[in-house]
Structure 1
Amino acid sequence: MNSALEGLRILDLSQVVSGPVCTQMLADFGADVVKIERPGSGDLARNTRPQLGGFGANFLALNRNKRSLAVDLSHPEGKDIVRALARRADVLVENFRPGVLDKLGLGYEALAAANPGLVYASISGFGQTGPYRDRKGQDILAQALGGMMWRNGARDDPPTFVGFPVADFMAGTLLCQGILIALQARQRSGRGQRIETNLLDSVLWPQLQDMTIYLNTRQPPARPPRGGTRPHHGPTSGVFKAQDGYLVVTLVFETGNHVSKMCALLGLPDLGADPRYATPALALERYDELRERFAAEFAKRPVREWIEELERQDVMCAPVQAYEEIAADPQILHNGSLVQSGHPGGGTLDSLANPLRMSETPWHLQSGPPALGGHTDQILAELGLEAGIADLRRRKVVA
């Protein structure tokens, strides 16, 4: 098995979503990820709803290819076990509230003193310092503070949050990038470093284009009308309702008059020749009336017919797919985007594959999500503590 990160040791003190997104990416490419969990309850996500076979679906989605060590961080010997693992680790990942691990004696300064090569990677809600440092952080809060909730949705909608934890996934992905950058730097310097990102910055980042425009013009981006797209794309791009569903069409990268092009596609040549729509600026002034005419034509035929016709014309388009259609989509199936692993409670678990494709060092599905403490004995034995495992378990240091 040729794994890009084989031999890399990750100590994972994170839970729920953002940290586990990062460490699963590393585990998929061969890193040995030791997940530290509370005895008895484990990662909070183990007990969230919905449940799949007695395990939280969120936990099952984000913890494959990892080993679980159940250890009590409030117990002095539990901390000693984590310190011993940190001395051997290349990377530590955590998403505690700022300052919590410092109070436990497991902060960056303490652990880096014993292991100068350690890359200590943190995710917080809003930053390790500053006025919001001690606030509880959560995805939807970051979406609100970072403008994503205001930016998302149609013109007349209330603030609308993205329906999946985009802040968590962005933060976890960014932290993974930071870790790999820090490991590259360590090859030159021999030293690790502390890196961090937060949920607030992670929702600002995909708004880079709009924020750049605003910061230099002080003109905020306009929310589109319902069913529309980004306002500067004009009336020829966005969501259109067909006879039996919805499709997205965009002419934003077409040359020439976009209105004329759309009218030709829809069989409205007279409308396309109307001088009132001759320029993008004029078309934007009459956005609503153009969208109404376009919508009337799209409603006459089913989605599939429109997609076939538009693709023949080499126009960018796609059907708006629900989950049942996604799961059967031929391109998604061809890409191998759906995988099956073992379930910690027995049986199988269907999930998504790692989205990266690498020709020489592909990702591997080695194991499903771990049972709580499922690798405690194995990991302690690697630390040379096998003789004392029964005693540690009896005194509830580990489980």
Structure 2
Amino acid sequence: MFENIKILDFTRVFSGPFCTQMLAELGAEVIKIEEPKSGDETRGWYPLEKNWSGYFMALNRSKKSLTLNLKNEEAIEIVKKLVSTCDVVVENFAPGVVQRLGISYEDLIKINPNIIYLSLSAYGQTGPNKNIKGYDPIIQADAGVMSLTGEKEGPPVKTMFPIADISSSLYGAFAIAAALYKRSVRQEGEYIDIALYDSVVSLMGILTAIPFFKNEIPKRLGSEHPHRVPSRNFETSDGTYIHVICNHSQWLKLCNALNLEEKYKREPYTSDLGRLEHREEIDEIIQNVLSTKTGKEWMKIFNEIGVPCSLINSLDQVLNSEQTKARDLIVRWEQDNIGEVPGLNFPYKFLNSTSKIKSPVPKLGEHTSEMLEEFGYTQNEIDNLREKGII
């Protein structure tokens, strides 16, 4: 899909690498720029297998690695040569860094006026917090995620997966795709500014409806849903937990399956708002009934009558489930010094196209000589650049 699109990738850690890996496995050529000797810091992150980081491998398949010391003028000249042949630049430095290095959007459009340039940062390029450093947990705290996550009477907690990094990556890939389409129609480039903070806040539309229209602040609900009852984890007789949720028609099916009193089949219990007003009563009576059978027994009952439910699965159960296998969510590739390694596939399924791993995770600087030779550098010149610490 993105064949013939070349991306210069200055990103590291999560938000940028996840974004560019999506585009790489949809066909784009991604050139990852890394610091000589050290590279992306996540190359050394847990878990390690024969000097390969599982964290780094999860985010950097299908890319090329080129090492450049961006504090050196000769390295910046190499960047400018690369930009002349690229379609997209992605960076996640702190605001102001690319200006100091001489690789900002304003610098690079002088070389390639049609370049598409994405800046990912904690708080964006504008606003009072633009110069404040922030990682995913900081954004979860500042953007309100932690205040809404956790048990009712417990402390605020963060999500286990990096929702700020993930959402900004997805927005970034979507924005790049939109800008590429615009360029194909109007023959002009684009600058895109995406903040992790903005990305998280923008996800909370249904929750912000509460303060917008009712002047109330949503509170932590544990596993409960702010708009639906029932929707929570219930403990079953064998100690496993099952999550049950239903709409109007499913509520009546649930009442019949649990042999609830007839009053629960009439107003106010048959409307969403009515059940919200009686949340504690409904949750208590359902919990009392669900504690009489095992989780698997309730799963069978609810699936047969069409009431949405799921056991609370652990990650190893998910990775080994038949559904995960049937959807090809686990992919494998040959990685240097390790052999075959597993990873997660991207979830989209195209009828007439494919998303695939093009190459294993690159060694640090693996493609440096190859890339420089394409621009006419001789082996002696490349060796000289390496000796001077430029590459």
> With structure 2 as the length reference, what TM-score do the two structures score?
0.94
**Of 129, 132, 139, which aligns to 1:142?**
139
> Which residue of 2 is the match for residue 393 of structure 1?
386
* C-alpha distance in structure 2 between counterparts of 1:301 and 1:52, whole Å: 43
> Which residue of 2 is the match for residue 303 of structure 1?
295
3-state DSSP class of the match of 1:255? helix
Q: Which amino acid aligns with 1:207?
A: M
> Which residue of 1 is the match for residue 204 of structure 2?
207
3-state DSSP class of the match of 1:88? coil
For 1:77-156, what aligned pairs fall within 5 Å after superposition? Answer: 77-156=74-153
Deviates most, 316-325 or 99-108:
316-325
Deviates most, 339-348 or 28-37:
339-348
3-state DSSP class of the match of 2:3? coil
Q: Which amino acid aligns with 2:136?
A: D
> Which residue of 1 is the match for residue 364 of structure 2?
372
> Which residue of 1 is the match for residue 4 of structure 2?
7
* C-alpha distance in structure 2 between counterparts of 1:299 and 1:197, whole Å: 47
Q: Which amino acid aligns with 1:255?
A: S
3-state DSSP class of the match of 2:203? helix
Please report how far the alpha carbon of residue 119 of structure 1 lies from its aligned counterpart in structure 2 after TM superposition. 0.3
Q: Is the 8 A contact 1:240 1:298 kept in 2?
A: yes
- Cα deviations across residues 225-262 of structure 1 (Å, max 9, x unaligned)? x44x213212x2221112331111111x2338x3x543
Q: Is the 8 A contact 2:254 2:307 kept in 1?
A: no
> Which residue of 1 is the match for residue 310 of structure 2?
318
For 1:236-315, what aligned pairs fall within 5 Å after superposition? Answer: 236-244=230-238, 245-251=240-246, 253-255=247-249, 258=251, 261-269=253-261, 272=264, 277=269, 280-281=272-273, 283-315=275-307
**Pair 1:231-2:223 in alignment:** no
3-state DSSP class of the match of 1:121? strand
3-state DSSP class of the match of 1:41? coil
Gaps of 5+ in 1: none
Please report how far the alpha carbon of residue 360 of structure 1 lies from its aligned counterpart in structure 2 after TM superposition. 1.5
Q: Which amino acid aligns with 1:250?
A: I
**Of 307, 319, 330, which aligns to 1:327?**
319
* C-alpha distance in structure 1 between counterparts of 2:170 and 2:267, whole Å: 48
Residues 267 and 124 from structure 1, CA distance in 2 versus in 1: closer, same or farther, beyond 3 angstroms?
A: same
* C-alpha distance in structure 1 between counterparts of 2:94 and 2:268, whole Å: 57
* C-alpha distance in structure 2 between counterparts of 1:306 and 1:345, whole Å: 47
Q: Which amino acid aligns with 2:332?
A: Q
* C-alpha distance in structure 1 between counterparts of 2:350 and 2:270, whole Å: 47
* C-alpha distance in structure 2 between counterparts of 1:279 and 1:75, whole Å: 66
Please report how far the alpha carbon of residue 273 of structure 1 lies from its aligned counterpart in structure 2 after TM superposition. 5.8
Percent sequence identity is 33
> Which residue of 1 is the match for residue 191 of structure 2?
194
* Cα RMSD for the two superposed structures: 1.9
Gaps of 5+ in 2: none
Paired residues in the alignment total 389
* C-alpha distance in structure 2 between counterparts of 1:333 and 1:42, whole Å: 34
Q: Which amino acid aligns with 1:242?
A: T
Q: Which amino acid aligns with 1:378?
A: E
Q: Is the 8 A contact 1:276 1:282 kept in 2?
A: yes
Please report how far the alpha carbon of residue 275 of structure 1 lies from its aligned counterpart in structure 2 after TM superposition. 7.6
* C-alpha distance in structure 2 between counterparts of 1:341 and 1:383, whole Å: 30
Please report how far the alpha carbon of residue 9 of structure 1 lies from its aligned counterpart in structure 2 after TM superposition. 0.3
**Of 349, 354, 378, which aligns to 1:357?**
349
* C-alpha distance in structure 2 between counterparts of 1:168 and 1:10, whole Å: 19
Q: Which amino acid aligns with 1:233?
A: R
**Of 34, 37, 46, which aligns to 1:37?**
34
> Which residue of 2 is the match for residue 64 of structure 1?
61
* C-alpha distance in structure 2 between counterparts of 1:29 and 1:353, whole Å: 12
* C-alpha distance in structure 2 between counterparts of 1:98 and 1:90, whole Å: 22
- Cα deviations across residues 153-204 of structure 1 (Å, max 9, x unaligned)? 2221211111111100110110000101111111122111110111101111
Residues 7 and 242 from structure 1, CA distance in 2 versus in 1: closer, same or farther, beyond 3 angstroms?
A: same
> Which residue of 1 is the match for residue 157 of structure 2?
160
Q: Is the 8 A contact 1:261 1:272 kept in 2?
A: no
- Cα deviations across residues 103-143 of structure 1 (Å, max 9, x unaligned)? 01111101011100100101010110121111112001111
Deviates most, 139-148 or 345-354:
345-354
Deviates most, 281-290 or 104-113:
281-290
* C-alpha distance in structure 2 between counterparts of 1:66 and 1:279, whole Å: 52
3-state DSSP class of the match of 2:42? helix
3-state DSSP class of the match of 1:393? helix
3-state DSSP class of the match of 1:216? helix
Q: Is the 8 A contact 1:377 1:386 kept in 2?
A: no
* C-alpha distance in structure 2 between counterparts of 1:276 and 1:210, whole Å: 24
* C-alpha distance in structure 2 between counterparts of 1:10 and 1:279, whole Å: 51
Please report how far the alpha carbon of residue 282 of structure 1 lies from its aligned counterpart in structure 2 after TM superposition. 5.1
- Cα deviations across residues 47-102 of structure 1 (Å, max 9, x unaligned)? 22232332322211000000000111111111111111111110000000001011
* C-alpha distance in structure 1 between counterparts of 2:276 and 2:28, whole Å: 52
> With structure 1 as the length reference, what TM-score do the two structures score?
0.92
Please report how far the alpha carbon of residue 217 of structure 1 lies from its aligned counterpart in structure 2 after TM superposition. 3.2
* C-alpha distance in structure 1 between counterparts of 2:109 and 2:52, whole Å: 35
Q: Is the 8 A contact 2:253 2:305 kept in 1?
A: no
